[in-house]
């Protein structure tokens, strides 16, 4: 870890903040780094006993496209990533996981963002009902795991957390 000589808050929003840090590199040079501060996120790949998975399609403005993704969301203060993932699966798909198994945790974009994403495998799914947030508009897609993997190859699934979850699920 490099010593930070100063940090200035440039932006403080409801989802993330941006700090400008000044730090000293190992060669003694002082550099400036803008860092997005984010509490992290968690999601899970719902996997049914018959080999189908549930993904959600939703519009992502920065990508200017509707993306097919695992259900996921921001970790609330004091919330465990596993609990966040289970909550998001039920809210977005209408299926409550009976079991959650950790697949991985990773930095989404470590060049400028401190966010860590946690992905899980959700199984033993019980139907409930979607409980979407007021600003969520998602469409649930049930498809064979093998078809989802082919969609990665064809460039139809481009979300990193979803690709990671799908590929790691094949190792379970």
CATH number of the domain to which 62 belongs: 3.90.79.10
* pLDDT tens digits for range 109-152: 999 999 999 999 999 999 999 888 788 789 999 999 999 999 99
d(Cα 57, Cα 69) in Å, to the nearest integer? 6
d(Cα 115, Cα 126) in Å, to the nearest integer? 30
Q: Are residues 87 and 155 in the same domain?
A: yes
HSE-CB at 40 with a 13 A cutoff on CA atoms is 17
Q: How many CB atoms lie within 10 A of CB 9?
A: 10
Q: Are residues 56 and 12 in the same domain?
A: no
Length of the chain equals 172
d(Cα 163, Cα 147) in Å, to the nearest integer? 13
Q: Are residues 62 and 138 in the same domain?
A: yes
Q: Are residues 76 and 12 in the same domain?
A: no
Q: Are residues 10 and 60 in the same domain?
A: no
Q: Which domain holds residue 66?
A: 41-169
Q: Are residues 85 and 10 in the same domain?
A: no
Q: Are residues 23 and 98 in the same domain?
A: no
DSSP 125: E
In the numeric block, which tokens belong to residue 161? Answer: 């957390």
Q: Are residues 145 and 87 in the same domain?
A: yes
d(Cα 166, Cα 68) in Å, to the nearest integer? 12
Q: Are residues 10 and 73 in the same domain?
A: no
**pLDDT tens for each residue of the chain, 172 residues long:** 788 999 999 999 999 999 999 998 888 899 999 999 999 999 999 999 999 999 999 999 999 999 999 999 999 999 999 999 999 999 999 999 999 999 999 999 999 999 999 999 999 999 999 888 788 789 999 999 999 999 999 999 999 999 999 999 999 7
């Amino acid at each position: 870890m490099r010593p930070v000589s100063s940090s200035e808050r440039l932006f403080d929003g409801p989802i993330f903040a941006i700090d400008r840090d000044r730090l000293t590199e190992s060669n003694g040079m002082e550099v400036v780094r803008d860092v997005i501060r984010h509490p992290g996120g968690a999601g899970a790949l719902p996997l049914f006993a018959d080999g189908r998975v549930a993904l959600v399609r939703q519009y992502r403005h920065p990508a200017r496209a509707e993306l097919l993704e695992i259900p996921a969301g921001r970790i609330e203060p004091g919330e465990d990533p596993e609990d966040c993932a289970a909550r998001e699966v039920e809210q977005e798909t209408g299926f409550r996981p009976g079991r959650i198994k950790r697949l991985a945790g990773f930095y989404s974009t470590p060049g400028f963002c401190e966010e860590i994403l946690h992905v899980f495998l959700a199984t033993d799914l019980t139907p409930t009902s979607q409980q979407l947030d007021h600003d969520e508009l998602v469409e649930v897609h049930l498809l064979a795991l093998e078809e989802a993997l082919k969609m990665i190859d064809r460039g139809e699934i481009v979300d990193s957390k979803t690709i990671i979850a799908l590929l790691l699920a094949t190792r379970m």
